[in-house]
Structure 1
């Protein structure tokens, strides 16, 4: 969840002061890393889930303020568009029946929220991109009321100096312009968090980068945008373009995009924070009173407000997170590649696959990133987003193979091993990773189901709307998507 910010107009002095504070915070972080001032021994996992709001016809419902008012729970929050909300699930240990408890907790909260949302004419939908969304639904007028989003919109367009251009070539073609960042609200994701020690961070981040492509291939759930069938996980390309502060001239000069896979394997978490400071100008130059150097010298734990705010405006697919809880700092890898949905059990299966792999890959004697180029990992992400389980992905020792084959032959056995090392109950391990296996064997992801259902209904916008209603019914049954009928 992004930090709330006040409505404000920035001056040149604000930007100079903010840059100084960010660089000072970076120096303080470096000292904290040298002195091992972090919580080390609690490998906790948590997640955030973004959702769409629809009405009784399956079309966008611009009601997030009303829905949040009736839900009235602190773990729910606004997201960018008025048709978005987000729930935050507190970090927990995964051993034993941890995944079952996670699934039951999410279902209980979503069922309660759905009951309350119905009171104001809304329904919750877990999907990567809402299939019924139209271009007219994403304008500055449909931004959420939170001042953070208005400010982000203003600053991105001030930096860019022209309208956003969205161009995606898939099964069909999208080529449009937008005068606000609201198209980003079409992207609804699940973000997985894993707390790790500073010494282990680089290995975990590198591993997360290496498996981003396979993650997307088995979980793709965003085939439609503005009535067009595009990529299996269109959300990847849409999100990259929706927050792009670069006009064409800066792209040609090699300026990095703010939604970024990165460009190299790392040796320390500091590499990522340093790159963010070196390569990206401030979008929200808001300074707090805290002097991080003074706090550290006095034996306290600095919040590093400016550094964390800046870090939150660089949208890496695997993002480093610094946070302080009860006066103790910790680091997390925030995995951001997964779409929401199709069902809660599908989300938990995706999480089990990820956390299982993250328990094994970073600790291998010859880690995958030492045998694979960074460019190959990024190309895997692109291919998986375009083609889902039909993508061909590269993996050391296998070469280029179909995504389903890579998952079945190499990654699922590693995920089983990892969950066993986490101490996950064998029944839950088999159940959840069995869902990933059946998706690979049937070729049925959320994206594949949506496309098949729309074709079964004859195509066109009404077919998208009717498919959305069918999707909602099956989502609430909490069956994995490979078992959904059309």
Structure 2
């Protein structure tokens, strides 16, 4: 979940920046040349941001953007050994893979990227097959080193000791630069503190806990004049999405939030001291604070509220395609403001496009589960943007944020607030209201009926049975290590056994709500 403000830039040698520096770019990340930055670089970057923002405003008024209707997906994975412990060998595994895969911040992480495709017809089945194929390739590359590639929101076998070992990070400038910038801005240790059934509190000298957060990110390309509606709809349903897909109930062996990844990620890269929190300074991992009227609103907020973390300047001649500006600095800055629904502007050889990057879902459990989550999102967003009186005009933004936090904490067991209904269990809301709406939205997208039925039946099955990845993990752990205490040998053994069952079930490809609970 690192900075990724658009497609990669060509690798070039800087011509006027600093002698001897090389620009590099990852497949889905922006170029980073330094581990720390000077006041001069930061001042110049601020000026470039203002120029980029003005250029973006001008371009939006007359821009001819690429047509919409395409979707995409990114998926982060964990590498583990036969004992289900994290393995710091992503470089060896990536050496066996092609450029659809890349490193992530943790040396035990990697990411796969699925090409964009049309959602209409059987597009979701194509996505499922593509994800399954790419996971199989990653699995074979891992097996060559005696490892397994696991898709799960937070890896339960991680330990505090592992995350405090300086070897946890992938050795690339952009990762060290990000960690340095967060710690320099914060001026003190990162504190992780949360609890539900159990509690956890620890301090870290860097942003290591961020590496525990592995996600699935969905892309929805939209026309600029529909972006605000698509983003507002995405914010309104964020809670329901998280509740149905929760898959991160265990962090360093403790039973915490059903989607612990949400607060852990937010706390890991929080640049604020407690005093700044008390002053109301906005966090860099941000739900937002208002409904919007234009995509420009979000980029303007980025520049207005957030100091740069990675003040890189692209000082070679800027390429343009169909008169679409690259906006390098603005995009890089956007990549260091981690909205759960992030705006993405990208320009390429065929012109520019804008998309919503839906970043709030965990990885896993299986390809069919993840594409069901995608179907639920795409269908519901399509339905809501077509309403005559949209849901965001009938609920406050604060209510949407409260729903999001409640669903991250309590998952499929959460209660939420919804217009004309009031307080309701989120599973009942999905069954009675949201799933039927998502079905209608998918139909409007011209998706084949049997495809709609297959994927929506998975969402409906989870809601009916109150089972998702999080509840399955917790029930499996209780079955394998009943009444075990945190940090006890029984808990550690139970988690290892639970992971064995999780990986075995994952290999079947069956949706998680059909998995049996393992017994001792």
Give the TM-score taking structure 2 as reference length: 0.91
Q: Is the 8 A contact 1:346 1:435 kept in 2?
A: yes
In the alignment, the residues of structure 1 paired with residue 330 and residue 229 of structure 2 have an alpha-carbon distance, to the nearest angstrom, of 22
Contact 2:322 2:349 in 1 (8 A): no
Question: How many angstroms apart in 2 are the aligned matches of 1:251 and 1:461?
Answer: 35
- Deviation at residue 106 of structure 1 after TM alignment: 1.0
Aligned partner of 1:60 in structure 2 is 86
Question: 1:461 offset after TM fit, Å?
Answer: 1.0
Matching of residues 255-404 of structure 1 within 5 Å: 255-289=281-315, 300-404=323-427
The corresponding residue for 1:74 is: 99
Aligned pairs for 1:446-457 (under 5 A) are 446-457=469-480
Determine which of 41, 46, 50 is the counterpart of 1:19: 46
Q: Give CA-to-partner distance per residue, 1:449-470, whole Å, 9 cap, x none.
A: 0000001111401101110111
For residues 279 and 170 of structure 2, the distance between their equivalents in structure 1, rounded to whole angstroms, comes to 34
Which of residues 230, 235, 256 is equivalent to 1:204?
Answer: 230
Partner of residue 110, structure 1: 135
| Residue in structure 2 matched with residue 31 of structure 1 by the alignment | 58
2:273 is the counterpart of 1:247: yes
Post-superposition offset of 1:6: 2.2
Task: Provide the rounded CA distance (Å) in 2 between the counterparts of 1:291 and 1:85.
Answer: 32
Other structure's SS at 2:96 match: helix
Partner SS, residue 70 of structure 1: coil
Deviation at 1:62, TM superposition (A): 1.0
Q: For residue 94 of structure 1, what is the aligned residue in structure 2?
A: 119
Q: CA RMSD in A?
A: 1.3
SS at match of 1:473: helix
1:276 Cα deviation (Å)? 0.3
Matched, 1:433 2:456: yes
* TM-superposition CA deviations, 1:60-113 (whole Å, max 9, x none): 111111110122x10100011011100011111011111111111111111122
Is this contact kept in 2: 1:63–1:122, CA < 8 A? no
Instruction: Measure how far apart 1:36 and its partner are.
Output: 2.5
The answer to whether the 8 A contact 1:23-1:277 is kept is yes
How much has 1:327 moved relative to structure 2? 4.1
The answer (yes or no) to whether the contact 2:196–2:256 under 8 Å persists in 1 is: yes
Among 443, 447, 462, the residue aligned to 2:493: 462
Structure 2 partner of 1:193: 219
1:162 to 170, 177, 188: 188
Aligned residue for 2:290, secondary structure, equals: coil
Distance in 2, matches of 1:271 and 1:427, equals 39
Deviates more, 1:136-145 or 1:266-275: 136-145
**Residues in 2 aligned to 1:380 and 1:306: alpha-carbon distance in whole angstroms:** 33
Instruction: Report the counterpart of residue 198 of structure 2 in structure 1.
Output: 172
| 1:415-426 correspondence to structure 2 within 5 Å | 415-426=438-449
Residue range with higher mean Cα deviation, 140-149 or 213-222: 140-149
Q: SS at 2:95's partner residue?
A: helix
Cross-structure match for 2:6: none
Q: CA deviation at 1:182?
A: 1.3
- Paired with 2:373 and 2:261, the residues of 1 have a C-alpha distance of 17
Matched, 1:6 2:33: yes
Distance 1:274 1:385 in 2: 28
Aligned position for 2:432 = 409
Instruction: From the superposition, tell whether residues 161 and 101 of structure 1 become closer, same or farther in structure 2 (CA, over 3 Å).
Output: same
* Alpha-carbon offset, residue 10 of structure 1: 1.3
TM-score normalised over the length of structure 1: 0.97
Structure 2 contact 76–216 (Cα < 8 Å) conserved: yes
Separation (CA, whole Å) in 2 of partners of 1:14 and 1:130: 38
Counterpart secondary structure, 1:431: helix
Which one has a larger percent helix, Structure 1 or Structure 2?
1
Structure-2 separation of matches of 1:483 and 1:2: 37
Runs of 4+ aligned residues of structure 1 deviating over 3 Å after TM superposition are: none
Contact 1:58 1:466 in 2 (8 A): no
Q: 1:148 aligns with which of 143, 153, 174?
A: 174
Corresponding residue number in structure 2 for 1:128:
153
Partners of 1:43 and 1:240 lie apart in 2 by 31
Does structure 2 conserve the Cα–Cα contact (< 8 Å) formed by 1:4 and 1:147? no
Offset, 1:59: 1.1
Q: Is contact 2:225-2:294 (8 Å) kept?
A: yes
Give the match's secondary structure for 2:248.
coil
The Cα of 1:471 is off from its aligned counterpart by 0.3
CA distance in 1, matches of 2:285, 2:463: 29
Unaligned runs of 5+ in 2: 1-27, 485-490
Residue 318 (structure 1) shift: 0.3
**Match of 2:75, SS?**
strand
1:8 Cα deviation (Å)? 4.1
How many angstroms does 1:209 deviate by? 0.2
1:203-242 to 2 correspondence within 5 Å? 203-242=229-268
